Structure 1
Amino acid sequence: MSTTVTKDIFERRESEARSYCRNFDTVFTKAAGSEMTDADGKTYIDFLAGCSSLNYGHNDPDMKTALVEHIMGDGIAHGLDMYTTEKARFLETFESHILKPRGMDDYKVMMTGPTGTNAVEAAMKLARKVTGRRNIITFSNGFHGMTMGALSLTGNASKRAGAGNSCGGLCGVTHMPYDGAFGAGVDTLSQIEMMLENSSSGIDAPAAFIFEPIQGEGGLNAASIEWMQGIAKLAEKHGAMLIIDDIQSGCGRSGTYFSIEEAGIKPDMITQAKSLSGFGLPFAALLIKKQHDIWKPAEHNGTFRGNTHAFVTGRVTLEKFWADDSFQTQVQEKAVQLTAGLQVIADEIPGAKLKGRGMMQGVDVGSGEMASDICARAFEKGLIIETSGADDEVVKVLVALTVPTETLQKGLDILLEAVREASATNKIAAE
């Protein structure tokens, strides 16, 4: 089938809700590592990585081999939440490689539905069940999912608009300012504390606080250690649960497995998804402190809670990359390279600034129009990259953590070239 014919079926039959394909208008046929190839044989460097679902790149050979062997050996394909060998092996490896080394032996793992929004929904329900309260405090520019509960926590107006005009499920939450929401000189932590202490503020006692340590869709806003610790203290003081949404910023993306490790906080719950399977397979889970695991059997369930194929690849991911600190060290070294490359790019645009941390960084170029132009030019040159932020003003890098340093640099060079062209065009238009 030709590219034209193949694309025609999408236009004819796929819903208008489709999104990424509108910016990357080609038909992809294969991928390996940090590169994707289309039907015309053109290869692109991937700075999107499945929106952080492919932290270990496309088609990791060890994960692929393990999955093929599992399938060819008639391993369980679907097991609801029954006991299986592969679930046991995944949990044992997660316990030994992730939980115990981080002093997190007091957490249990709840298999939720297959995507991040399912984990968030479960966290919201459990927080309300444990505390007997309804109100959940969330933060400006946050993104937590597209189902009704998770969407109520999400700040983006266009995402919320998809739920219609009535309140529906978009209730029972209070939106507070995230760290730095009003600029570096404004302490939002003290503002939040003031509102909570004021009995006439109109804010109901919270069941939970939920935040992303690094806001992915919200524009790569990274909370400071002090702010994260402050929110944890407020939650404890007010008898609320602390939920960390580590769906996009977790699994090593921040430079450590969990993006809160430097802050030293121990949340009541942590949501995990995206790169949890390591292979791009749907897999989400909720980490819960043991004392809060008060679910009755089947009180929160779903047909696809626990993807057996994802257990296979997820276990290999942990064994291959998280058995010691060597991979984490490599990620942190690449983060330094990424920061340096993005600073060169930011220097090309008056007023531009770096955002994020670790391998979750980008450049705020000041406008969505400019950022979109840069990404479109980059795609033409062979780089897949997207925007984020309230107005899509941030050019966002989510390259695989396994990317070779030379490929990372080549992608940054393409991005720099795209920025220079967009800046020149913008300057001419302004004149």
Structure 2
Amino acid sequence: MTITPPATAVFETLESEVRSYCRSWPAVFDRAQGSRMFDEDGHVYLDFFSGAGALNYGHNNPVLKRALLDYLERDGVTHGLDMSTTAKRAFLESFDEVILKPRSLDYKVMFPGPTGTNAVEAALKLARKAKGRESIVSFTNAFHGMSLGSLAVTGNAFKRAGAGIPLVHGTPMPFDNYFDGKVPDFLWFERLLEDSGSGLNHPAAVIVETVQGEGGINVARPEWLRALADLCERRDMLLIVDDIQMGCGRTGPFFSFEEAGITPDIVTLSKSIGGYGMPMSLTLFKPELDLWEPGEHNGTFRGNNPAFVTATAALDTYWADGQMEKQTLARGEQVEQALRTIAAEHSSEVVEHRGRGLVWGLEFADKARAAKVSARAFELGLLIETSGPESEVVKLLPALTTTPEELDEGLRILTRAVRDTV
């Protein structure tokens, strides 16, 4: 594909240097539909990025778009803070009937600010309030958001440095397989908790991603997650699962922790919970943790009613009959097979392929190779990003609604991009 340099002067002149994705994908995008994006010059790109996981149902999903347009055309409430609205009621009823009750999950639902880091900040604040303790344990290579509380439990040194101040009250522990299976699970963590001389303040909570997306597609084993849940229960610590990128069906089940058979005390959701890519987040917690005073945690945009509308449509359309999980797992097998073939063809260069459902990573021994593969894929018409502490992993996040044919097309492009960057 020949790419004509886009008209980017206004972005380069007025927009902050903090912009990042546009540097990897030098196009000016104009339209999007399903798993395709179109730039203003008419070039077509297959999207295996999905808004960093915010578009599990694809771009401008027609069912969700119709629900949104109908709501707006009848002058439905767009901004309502935390007032009661028909859109919020419909979402809560659907979320309870379609998601919570079938899984026997008795959670209260909190609407913090509309982004993932808002949900995490609320979770951390609530855990500290409930336990009366400050310390939170997180894990190596974790990512939980860019506000100060979330950064304190994030592992990436570059992102942490942006805080400009000490990040306190967070203690990192080794994620699953951090020592390549050479050290028993939670050996260090358990020892610190037992030893009154360790210097570890008794944590209020542990926060974990079942699959670390930004950290390099590191997949926690179900038995590791079960052992972590048991540890938290024995040591009087709350378990927080950050399901912001891996929830809403990304790994197969609606919640990524379902495979492990655990019930976290607190769960954070964002990204695809709104269905249509509009800002929305949830903090879910067990009823006995609902210790908030009215207005103790709030935000101007904590009631995004148009997002309630599209979220409800997504739940009713894709989750009421139980088929989405089966479809995602089947298409995940399709991706895994292709990555296995790539890894075998480039066995001396590919360290590992790993993932679950429709989130996958391809790690390269030459850490700069992943960025080259991503750049070449863009030239060939495929949007993929990199992840990991040194951006050494090519990361695939196709929409859950991507067809098998589109998956094959994108995986062929990825195969060529890997070959072309030898």
In the TM superposition, what is the alpha-carbon distance from 1:62 to its structure 2 partner? 0.8
CA distance change for structure 1 residues 227 and 5 in 2, over 3 Å: closer, same or farther? closer
Separation (CA, whole Å) in 2 of partners of 1:259 and 1:195: 28
Which amino acid is the alignment partner of residue 108 of structure 2? K
Conserved 8 A contact 1:248-1:273: yes
Residue 360 (structure 2) aligns with = 361
Residue 370 (structure 1) aligns with = 369
Count the aligned residue pairs.
417
Which amino acid is the alignment partner of residue 133 of structure 2? R
Residue 331 (structure 1) aligns with = 328
Which amino acid is the alignment partner of residue 81 of structure 2? L
Is 1:66 the counterpart of 2:63? The answer is no
Could you give the per-residue CA deviations for residues 30-49 of structure 1, whole angstroms, max 9, x where no partner exists? Answer: 00000100011010000000
In the TM superposition, what is the alpha-carbon distance from 1:325 to its structure 2 partner? 1.3
Residue 184 (structure 1) aligns with = 181
User: 1:203 aligned to 200, 203, 210, which one?
Assistant: 200
Residue 115 (structure 1) aligns with = 115
Separation (CA, whole Å) in 1 of partners of 2:81 and 2:203: 33
Could you give the per-residue CA deviations for residues 46-105 of structure 1, whole angstroms, max 9, x where no partner exists? Answer: 00000000001000001101101111100001000000000000000000000000011x
Residue 52 (structure 1) aligns with = 53
Conserved 8 A contact 1:346-1:365: no
Separation (CA, whole Å) in 1 of partners of 2:188 and 2:362: 28
Segment of structure 1 superposing worse, 347-356 or 286-295 = 347-356
Could you give the per-residue CA deviations for residues 231-280 of structure 1, whole angstroms, max 9, x where no partner exists? Answer: 11111111111100000010000111000001111111000000000100
SS at match of 1:123: helix
Conserved 8 A contact 1:180-1:187: no
Could you give the per-residue CA deviations for residues 153-182 of structure 1, whole angstroms, max 9, x where no partner exists? Answer: 000000011111x31xx1001110100111
Separation (CA, whole Å) in 1 of partners of 2:261 and 2:203: 23
TM-score by length of 1: 0.95
TM-score by length of 2: 0.97
Separation (CA, whole Å) in 2 of partners of 1:260 and 1:16: 37
Separation (CA, whole Å) in 2 of partners of 1:324 and 1:198: 50
In the TM superposition, what is the alpha-carbon distance from 1:205 to its structure 2 partner? 0.3
Is 1:267 the counterpart of 2:268? The answer is no
Separation (CA, whole Å) in 2 of partners of 1:391 and 1:38: 29
Conserved 8 A contact 1:245-1:270: yes
Residue 285 (structure 1) aligns with = 282
Structure 2: 5+ residue stretches without partners: none
Segment of structure 1 superposing worse, 31-40 or 342-351 = 342-351
Is 1:223 the counterpart of 2:224? The answer is no
Separation (CA, whole Å) in 1 of partners of 2:301 and 2:146: 18
In the TM superposition, what is the alpha-carbon distance from 1:226 to its structure 2 partner? 1.0
SS at match of 1:89: helix
Which amino acid is the alignment partner of residue 322 of structure 2? D
Is 1:392 the counterpart of 2:387? The answer is no
Which amino acid is the alignment partner of residue 124 of structure 1? L
In the TM superposition, what is the alpha-carbon distance from 1:368 to its structure 2 partner? 2.9
In the TM superposition, what is the alpha-carbon distance from 1:4 to its structure 2 partner? 6.3
Conserved 8 A contact 1:219-1:355: no
Segment of structure 1 superposing worse, 176-185 or 316-325 = 176-185
Separation (CA, whole Å) in 2 of partners of 1:370 and 1:386: 12
Separation (CA, whole Å) in 1 of partners of 2:292 and 2:109: 12
Conserved 8 A contact 1:367-1:392: no
Which amino acid is the alignment partner of residue 86 of structure 1? A
Separation (CA, whole Å) in 2 of partners of 1:286 and 1:125: 11
Residue 8 (structure 2) aligns with = 7
Residue 140 (structure 2) aligns with = 140
Is 1:160 the counterpart of 2:163? The answer is no
SS at match of 1:356: strand
Structure 1: 5+ residue stretches without partners: 424-431
Write the mapping of 1:245-256 to structure 2, written as runs, cut at 5 A: 245-256=242-253
SS at match of 1:71: helix
What RMSD over aligned residues (CA atoms) do the two structures have, in Å? 1.1
In the TM superposition, what is the alpha-carbon distance from 1:6 to its structure 2 partner? 4.2
Aligned-pair identity in percent equals: 51
Which amino acid is the alignment partner of residue 305 of structure 2? T
SS at match of 2:13: helix
Which amino acid is the alignment partner of residue 337 of structure 1? Q
Which amino acid is the alignment partner of residue 134 of structure 1? E
Separation (CA, whole Å) in 1 of partners of 2:382 and 2:393: 16
Separation (CA, whole Å) in 1 of partners of 2:345 and 2:182: 26
Residue 89 (structure 1) aligns with = 90
In the TM superposition, what is the alpha-carbon distance from 1:422 to its structure 2 partner? 0.7
Conserved 8 A contact 2:98-2:319: yes
Conserved 8 A contact 2:216-2:389: yes
CA distance change for structure 1 residues 177 and 5 in 2, over 3 Å: closer, same or farther? closer
Conserved 8 A contact 1:348-1:420: no
Conserved 8 A contact 1:210-1:244: yes
Segment of structure 1 superposing worse, 81-90 or 224-233 = 224-233
Separation (CA, whole Å) in 2 of partners of 1:184 and 1:17: 38
Is 1:127 the counterpart of 2:127? The answer is yes
